[in-house]
């Protein structure tokens, strides 16, 4: 909802507060994304580590999409790219904690 929409008479103060303070409505800082990508280089088992899950939970939906594309585009001579199944696990983990 836009800021102007939140000012409508039909929007309660509680709803406006929730919309403004919902972390899913605010993108994560780029540093958080880079730290997450760095940890995901170690593989899908990183999805059980608290620090990785904390960073993952901070992502907005469009940022999750970027992360999914980046882990699949890892350079094979540096780190193993994630498979589609691995990315599905990443998305599932994000949904559970978001």
Model confidence over 15-61: pLDDT tens digits? 766 666 665 567 899 999 999 999 999 999 999 999 999 999 999 99
Prediction pTM value: 0.76
Per-residue tokens: 56: 């993952």
Q: Which residues of 35-64 are buried (b: 16+ CB within 10 A; e: fewer)?
A: bbeebbeeebebbeeeebbebbbbbeeebb
């Amino acid at each position: 909802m836009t800021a102007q929409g939140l000012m409508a008479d039909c929007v309660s103060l509680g709803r406006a507060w929730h919309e403004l303070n919902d972390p899913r409505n605010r993108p994560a800082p780029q540093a958080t994304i880079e730290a997450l990508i760095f940890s995901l280089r170690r593989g899908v088992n990183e999805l059980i580590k608290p620090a990785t899950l904390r960073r993952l939970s901070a992502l907005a939906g469009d940022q999750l999409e970027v992360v999914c594309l980046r882990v699949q585009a890892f350079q094979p001579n540096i780190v193993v790219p994630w498979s589609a199944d691995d990315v599905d696990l990443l998305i599932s983990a994000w949904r559970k904690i978001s």
